[in-house]
A and B are shown apart, each in its own frame.
Chain A
Amino acid sequence: MDTQEKLLEMEHITKIFPGVRALHDVHFSLGRGEIHALLGENGAGKSTLIKVLTGVFERDEGEIFLEGRAISPQSPQAAQNMGISTVYQEVNLCPNLSVAENVYIGREPGSAGRIDWKTINRKAAELLGRFDLHIDVTQNLDRYSVAVQQMVAIARAVDISAKVLILDEPTSSLTAVEVRKLFEIMRMLKAQGMGIIFVTHFLDQVYEVSDTITVLRGGEYIGSSPAADLPKMQLVAKMIGKEYEDLEGRPAAAAAAGHGAKDLFLRLEGAASARISDVNIDIQKGEVLGFSGLLGSGRSEIARLIFGVDPIVEGDIEIGGRHAAVREPIAAMRAGIGFCPENRKSEGIVGDLSVRENIMLALQAKQGMMKAMSRRQSEKLADTYIKALSIKTPSRDQSTNNLSGGNQQKVILARWLATNPDLLILDEPTRGIDIGTKAEIQKLVIKLAQDGMSLVFISSEVDEMVRCCGRMVILREKKLVGELAGDEISEDMIVKSMAGGAQFEPKTETV
């Protein structure tokens, strides 16, 4: 292999944490003008490898070469000076500063303590213009969508002269249109000769944009190959170390769940909250009802309305044929509803509390403050669900912060299952979760419906919706625009109805 061609090489990288070997003899090489996907389940060692590369962790063994020279960055700052920049999933810029300030923070042009605002604003606008981003750079960053913020972060990273750009889960919070835009930018940077490391959970995106794929599993290097030579099935098999067939396609179980279920559980009649109006939906007993739509289409708003997070201001909610006054979550819970919200970290888990406390919380709230569960009861409850959902935690008294995303999600699921709900609303339950856990959650959803529970399932991943839902309402721009049931449900149909033909930007049709 000609090392001149290689921009970055990592060889025999080993990283050991107390008690855990996070990386063992891992290889990774990146060429100029290459987009290289780094894949693996949660805990495979992707983040650790990235952190070793960017100097967050010190490696125990191995060597890193950048343009043929051995390097050992001691901090992200040092790595950036060498030309290795990272843009993380959660944009870490300052939302209350202007776009231009964010681009130039820490390296403001000007002299003698004076900052040259004119230059900053002009140069920032120019820079973003090259990314086809024509926005007012004097506005605060948080005025713009997450997608724009991410572009700004990338622009900043590139402007600090990056040779290697690491994109860690950049697409998790973007809509289809925004993802497309991001890919255009990635291709542009690629054409300029930059090497890009792309970490993601979305396999379709991997194939759309990557040249090369490297797979890690359990800290081991599994292999690298050109994306074109690695079919999706094989890739998944490598990632999870088993065959993908039990995930593929639309299982008969999903189709069956909800079919023949004709008992009404909940009905929304012209219901409205502060965020959405005129919602008419029936939810049957024992069905998985999907809310399909793009980000911001109103799917989460309906969920929040049903659960009383956004109180109903107009119309009616009927549960079991009777009018139900659901004005706050506790009332919805008493009516037999549970809700896993979209933002796991900020609305779901209570981070500093233990796994046990997180699991018991909803049931305890439902029972009321005065009827405290005994320590032994709560321990038993926690143990039951840790086992039933195979939550990976060293103990039930572990702080929930220390769990991986997938296991945190399972903790929230456990919290709601403990309340034995009639209707469970799951808003993006598998976002940012590895494939193995994803499949577990999907199976659980279908099984719960078969056991008679009603479920509302919301996901941005269309294939997942197809796999889980027995019936589906389609939302666009905060309006119900269609319904699919049984055999009508296919990726093709969903995307078509979601995009809604001429009304929407033509690009999304092909997503």
Chain B
Amino acid sequence: MSQKLKQFSKNQIFWPLMVLLAILLANGVISGGQFFEMRIVDGHLYGRLIDILRNGSKLMVLAIGITMALATGGTDISVGSVMAISGAVACSIVDGRLLSGVSGSVTVAIVLALLAGLACGLWNGVLIAKAKIQPIVATMILMVAGRGIAQLITEGKIVTINSDAYYFINGGYILGLPFPLFIVAFAFVVVMLFTRKTASGLFIEAIGVNSVSSRFTGIKVDRIKLMIYAFSGLMAAVAGLIESAGIKGADCNNAGLLIELDAILSVAIGGTSLFGGRFSIPASVVGALIIQSISTSVLAIGVAPEVTLVVKSLIVIVICLVQSKKFKEMLAGKFSRRAVKEA
């Protein structure tokens, strides 16, 4: 048993999970247990934990999508803008200002929004894999242009919609649990199957460690990169749907603003190196939950909104230090030396 525990402590997900539990526990103590309370109203589960899960769903979806891009040593900073595009497409169709022929069909809206995200991702992929542009520069193009494209789709307006079917994406419940959680679970399972049951996980890590060697062993590096960025775009579109369903409309200027940084941070907190190589999707999901629970708990404790970001960044610094191998060694050295002195 202790053997297994020891093994687990070396797993990439171990520290992120510990940090998450610590944050939740601290919240529980500060709130006097109120934090963990759950109520069932109309067969729906309510509570702080559920809030964190629901509000964190966008970030979890993005983290799932972006992890593989980071694992190849690349990055995708366009996801926030792609969210805006996806929301703009979906809301404009539901609203009827776009494709009025389908008379606001939610299904058509969702499908086309996802396709738009996929197209954005493919665009990034072509720039990176074929034109060999550095990923941060290549995705910056869409990061900047994306909001403009979204504005064009909505004709520069904030589109508000009135559709219970569409609201369901964010606010719906199945079996007492918020619907976005099922989206996250679905994306998670699909990606886990893809990376574990095919050789793609191995190939992605190999590319991240040494893309030249990978090409020399017959891995289709370009094709895999294209696929990865396309997938990241698709996941951004999904997050865009959740976001726009939450605010019941498309706000091109603010949808997913700066969320790409939180997404990258989620992956980093999860312990995947931004230089590429070994990656863990579950750890990235935990990373996203850590960020969400920090945001939620900072608000819950009643910190003034002006200093929320400061508190958040302090916590992130601590997490990154805990993740840092060098820091851990330093700490271990200090402790053992002290122990020697005392003895």
Please list the residues of chain A having a beta carbon within 8 angstroms of any beta carbon in chain B. 307, 309, 328-330, 333, 339, 341, 346-353, 357, 360-362, 364-373, 415
Contact = CB atoms under 8 A, between A and B. Distances in A.
B44 to A, nearest CB: 40
30 contacts: A328-B215, A329-B215, A329-B217, A329-B218, A330-B220, A346-B213, A347-B216, A350-B210, A350-B214, A351-B209, A353-B202, A353-B205, A353-B209, A357-B205, A360-B202, A361-B202, A361-B217, A362-B217, A364-B199, A364-B202, A365-B199, A365-B218, A365-B219, A367-B199, A369-B198, A369-B199, A372-B198, A372-B199, A372-B202, A373-B199
A365 B217 contact: yes
Nearest to B211: A350
A333 B218 contact: yes
A105 B220 CA distance: 42
A351 B202 contact: no
A415 B206 CA distance: 14
A341 B199 contact: no
Contacts, number: 78
B338 interface: no
Interface in B185-238: 197-200, 202-203, 205-206, 209-210, 212-220, 224
Contacts of A362: 217-218
B277 interface: yes
B218 to A, nearest CB: 4
A426 to B, nearest CB: 13
B216 A369 contact: no
B198 A361 contact: no
Nearest to A401: B209
A404 to B, nearest CB: 18
Top 9 closest A-B pairs, CB basis? A365-B218, A330-B218, A372-B199, A362-B217, A352-B209, A333-B218, A361-B217, A350-B209, A350-B210
B58 interface: no
B204 to A, nearest CB: 10
B329 to A, nearest CB: 15
Interface residues of B, number: 22
A67 B89 CA distance: 80
A348 B206 CA distance: 11
A349 B210 contact: yes
B147 interface: no
Nearest to A340: B216
B326 to A, nearest CB: 17
Nearest to A373: B199
- Among A309, A350, A373, the one with the most B-chain Cβ atoms within 10 Å of its Cβ is A350
B54 interface: no
A415 B217 contact: yes
Contacts of A349: 210, 213
A349 B277 CA distance: 13
A357 B202 contact: yes
B200 A351 contact: no
Contacts of A328: 215, 220
Contacts of B199: 364-365, 367-373
Nearest to A330: B218
Given A329-B216, A372-B198, A350 B206 contact: yes
Contacts of A366: 218
B202 to A, nearest CB: 6
B217 to A, nearest CB: 4
A347 B213 CA distance: 4
A105 to B, nearest CB: 26
A400 to B, nearest CB: 9
